[in-house]
Amino acid sequence: MSGYLLTAPAKINLYLEILGDRPDGFHELVMVMQTIALSDRIEVSSHRGKGINLYCKQPLVPLDERNIAYRAAQLMMARFPHAYEEFGGVDITIEKNIPVAAGLAGGSGNGAAVLVGLNLLWQLGLTQPDLRILAAELGSDVPFCIGGGTAIATGRGEILDPLPDLDGIPIVLAKYSNIAVSTPWAYQTYRAQFEDGYLRDDESWQDRMTQIHSGGLIQAIQTKNIQAIAAELHNDLEKVVLPAFPQVQTLRDCFAKHGAIGTMMSGSGPSVFAICESVEQANQLKTSVSTELNSPDLDLWVTQISCHGIQAATL
Ligand code: ATP
């Protein structure tokens, strides 16, 4: 066998609340993470030499240590030197369909895919929990990307509690290709503006997490009540990203005006998603928003909520 083809889906945040500052410098978060069908395709195979060859035609994607997929391969080589010795170097080819720097965890998903791919290629027999521990070393969103689906994420985002599947709900996703939002910028700006309201201790964080766990969004997910899910969407980072990027606010308003049952920015943005009742409504919404905003820089996708994380097939 020559290698593996991994499908690495994007994620959206149905909920993102910033609770406070952690001693490690990150924020303490409560998020509801959700995979969607829009996916990158990653091929992982061995080559006779040493080291990592990374190929990707999307010019915004770095091809060296700055790429999370590259760092994932480095991590596996360091942790499993005997397998690296036996199987040789790693070729990684990324076909990018998820927009870059969009708040959709595209890079994190690529990193997760390489962990899953090398586990198979090198016949390591690592379990999902084993892979999630490795994934946490690469980034806060990477553990979620391994298994995907619907989950509450706490801590930095790496502590996961699965929720019932919501697959099949139609989504329209939109992003201006001329806008990129740096995730560190979004969190630093949020801290500068809202630090005074942060919860200060573990006990207050736990109380707030318990409230969210028993709150409206989680109940709506448990009963798969799409209207209620749409009404409970929330993202604290909108408070800093929307004023700084008025086009994103306009996009969000346009989704709402044309009948989305719920709309929200994903992660640190600037992508915005809209929840729809049917695929027909989603296609109609895409057309209406595209016509009204009429911009060559606006990309739109009709996709759907998915219950899958990284999926693998032999090449
Ligand atoms: P997150 O939601 O996890 O914060 P994001 O969706 O906002 O991520 P990415 O698409 O992961 O953003 O890209 C963020 C930056 O990471 C990009 O500017 C790019 O330079 C870098 N990057 C590193 N590895 C990758 C990768 N495999 N794919 C895309 N970008 C990558």
Residue bearing the CA closest to ligand 1, atom 30: 107
At residue 2 the predicted structure's pLDDT band, cuts being 50, 70 and 90, is confident
Contacts 24+ apart (CB under 8 A), 293-299: 293/250, 293/251, 293/254, 295/176, 297/176, 297/177, 297/178, 297/179, 298/174, 298/175, 298/176, 298/177, 298/251, 299/99, 299/174, 299/175, 299/176, 299/177
The response to whether residue 66 sits with its C-beta less than 6 Å from ligand 1 reads yes
At residue 298 the predicted structure's pLDDT band, cuts being 50, 70 and 90, is very high
pLDDT for the residue 180: 87
Residue bearing the CA closest to ligand 1, atom 13: 101
Mutate to test the pocket of ligand 1, among 41, 100, 268 (most ligand atoms within 8 A of CB): 100
Q: Tokens 């099949």 appear where? A: 168
Asked if residues 76 and 153 have their Cβ atoms less than 8 Å apart, the reply is: no
Question: Helices 68-79 and 106-121, interaxial angle, to 10°?
Answer: 30
Instruction: Indicate if the pLDDT at residue 90 is higher than 60.
Output: yes
140-190: pLDDT as tens digits? 999 999 999 999 999 999 999 999 999 899 999 999 999 989 999 999 999
Q: Three-state SS for 208? A: helix
CATH fold of the domain at 3-164+307-314: Ribosomal Protein S5; domain 2 (3.30.230)
pLDDT for the residue 165: 95
When the pLDDT of each residue in the chain is averaged and rounded to a whole number, the result is: 96
Mean pLDDT along residues 282-290: 98
pLDDT for the residue 170: 97
Strand 52-56 and strand 89-95: the pairing is parallel
43-74: pLDDT as tens digits? 999 999 999 999 999 999 999 999 999 999 99
Distance from residue 58's CA to the centre of ligand 1 (Å) = 12
Residue at 168: amino acid letter: G
Domain spans, the chain: 3-164+307-314, 170-304
Distance CA 123, CA 118 (A): 8
Which ligand 1 atom sits nearest the alpha carbon of residue 140? 3
Tokens of 272: 């915005």
Above pLDDT 90, what percent of the chain? 97
Is 11 tagged catalytic?
yes
CATH 3.40.50.1370 fits 170-304, yes or no: no
Strand 150-155 and strand 262-265: the pairing is unpaired
Instruction: Indicate if the pLDDT at residue 1 is higher than 70.
Output: no
Above pLDDT 70, what percent of the chain? 100
Q: If you ran DSSP here, which 8-state letter would residue 99 be given?
A: P
Is 91 tagged catalytic?
no
End-to-end C-alpha distance for the chain, whole angstroms? 7
217-248: pLDDT as tens digits? 999 999 999 999 999 999 999 999 999 999 99
The response to whether residue 110 sits with its C-beta less than 6 Å from ligand 1 reads yes
Distance from residue 108's CA to the centre of ligand 1 (Å) = 7
116-125: pLDDT as tens digits? 999 999 999 9
